[in-house]
Amino acid sequence: MSPLPAPPLPAGAIRAQRKVHASGRFMINGQFIKLGRRHAGKIVTVVIEDTHDRILHGEDELAVRPSKNLKPIARLYVKGMGTHKNRQGSPDDEPSRKS
């Protein structure tokens, strides 16, 4: 029997993935969230809702934290190790000349 599909996101929610640093923290939407060192190295999914952030690892909910930044999210971007390598959209695309 296959597992149940993930529940739908609440209206207006955004989902993003982050890797928890060795210190047990990560940054999302300009805010550091501390989970603890026992979660270091895990890839967590953050569901950014209107007033709080819900942190998931697989199907387990690890934490719910209030959002400090209540402004609408205009863009999400990721920077860090490995995020700029092989940024081509498909194998047929030519590499950018700007990089």
Mean pLDDT, the chain cut into blocks of 10 residues (99 residues total): 66 84 91 93 90 90 88 68 53 57
DSSP reduced 3-state for 39:
helix
pLDDT for 21: 94
Q: Are 46 and 52 in contact (CB under 8 A)?
A: no
Q: What is the largest CA-CA distance in the chain?
A: 49
